[in-house]
Amino acid sequence: MSSLKSAKHLLMFRDWSSHEINGVIEKAIEIKNDPEQYRLSLKDKSLAMVFQKTSTRTRVSFEVAMTQLGGHGVYLDWRTTNFMLADIRDETQYLSRNVDCIMARLLRNADLTAMAEASKVPVINGCDEKYHPCQAISDLMTMKEKKGLLKGLKLVYIGVHNNVCNSLIEGCTKTGVRITTVTPLINEPAIDKELVEKAKQTGLHETTLDVKEAVKDADFVYTDTWIDMEFFLDSKFKEKKEQRIKLMKPYQINSELLKESNALIMHDMPIHRGYEISAKVIEGPNSIIYEQSENRLHSAKGILLKLLGKT
Ligand code: CP
């Protein structure tokens, strides 16, 4: 087990410097290009992966990353563990005495913070209601791969202001990327006024509702689901879902919107085809969505090596 006294976590980017974020991105690209060199980097190390919500990419990328780095990922479904019944701090105290790192996808950021405070080992936020830093690292890695640098690029995020949007704003402004958000709706649980204010002070973040103008000179256009995954199929959410779709429909990413744009198209997935983005754009020549999702694996490796002191 790790003997870290005060572990470095990845809960959001507030405590991460630009240098650290760029370092993980560069390492992820290096690992992707030469995976063999890192085959035993985490030999005999274990990662606990705690999931209170559904996931495809976050679970697969971290589990495969651990295997390919010579270590082991232990999947824990919240509902079949005693996290369900006990105080999160006690369960975390135990867990962090048996594994070298914890990655958790929890419903509430407050619980993730409690987990990090109780943990002796690094805790990684696998997406809560406020932030999704692992996704943002993968996104920035993909952008750097495509353009060779990050500084000076322009990303336009169109959709609901949510956890993914928060981490993109923080990640972009810390790495010199200009980010314009077109978000007619804010997911209330995701509100972080301090993060947005800080980002605006860098001069790299602006907001607008003029979606056509925003995409004209964009290098990347990015969207995400309008409705959080846990609510999409929930009948109790039906009315709210219909209201949202009506409000958001003019902001769909489709060929008409992109008529005068050469931007590369991004989406963190899962996709709701025909809602936030048209099928034609998903499958079009400018879409880098599947490469972006593949990079979750390489960036997970970069994050794990950084937090386990192997860089
Ligand atoms: N983008 C993302 O986090 O995917 P999953 O929800 O499938 O993990």
- Output DSSP code: residue 189: G
**92 pocket-lining for ligand 1 (C-beta < 6 Å):** no
Q: Which pLDDT score, from 0 to 100, does residue 2 have? A: 43
Domain boundaries, the chain: 18-130+296-307, 133-293
Which ligand 1 atom sits nearest the alpha carbon of residue 134?
3
User: Separation of 303 CA from ligand 1 center, angstroms?
Assistant: 16
**134 pocket-lining for ligand 1 (C-beta < 6 Å):** no
Is 3.40.50.1370 the CATH number for 133-293? yes
Q: Which two tokens stand for residue 45?
A: 């190390």
The label of the residue with tokens 């606990």 reads: 48
Between CA 222 and CA 216 the distance in angstroms is 13
Task: Please report which residue ranges of the chain form alpha helices under DSSP H.
Answer: 18-33, 57-68, 88-95, 109-118, 133-147, 163-174, 193-201, 211-216, 229-232, 238-248, 279-282, 289-307
Q: Residue 193: which of 223, 175, 166 has the closest Cα?
A: 166
pTM for the predicted model, two decimal places: 0.96
Q: Which pLDDT score, from 0 to 100, does residue 311 have? A: 76
Q: Residue 124: which of 294, 268, 303, 296 has the closest Cα?
A: 303
Same fold, 18-130+296-307 and 133-293: yes
Nearest residue (CA) to ligand 1, atom 2? 57
Choice from 51, 56, 125 to test ligand 1 binding pocket (greatest atom count within 8 A of CB): 56
Q: What is 18-130+296-307's CATH number?
A: 3.40.50.1370
Q: Which pLDDT score, from 0 to 100, does residue 228 have? A: 78
Choice from 54, 105, 127, 167 to test ligand 1 binding pocket (greatest atom count within 8 A of CB): 127
Which ligand 1 atom sits nearest the alpha carbon of residue 126?
3
Question: What angle is formed at CA 140 by the lines to CA 308 and CA 145, rounded to 5 degrees?
Answer: 100
pLDDT (tens place) for every residue of the chain, 311 residues total: 444 457 899 999 999 999 999 999 999 999 999 999 999 999 999 999 999 999 999 999 999 999 999 999 999 999 999 999 999 999 999 999 999 999 999 999 999 999 999 999 999 999 999 999 999 999 999 999 999 999 999 999 999 999 999 999 999 999 999 999 999 999 999 999 999 999 999 999 999 999 999 999 999 999 999 987 667 788 888 888 899 999 999 999 999 999 999 999 999 999 999 999 999 999 999 999 999 999 999 999 999 999 999 87
User: Separation of 56 CA from ligand 1 center, angstroms?
Assistant: 6
Q: Which pLDDT score, from 0 to 100, does residue 234 have? A: 84
Q: Which pLDDT score, from 0 to 100, does residue 3 have? A: 42
Nearest residue (CA) to ligand 1, atom 3? 58
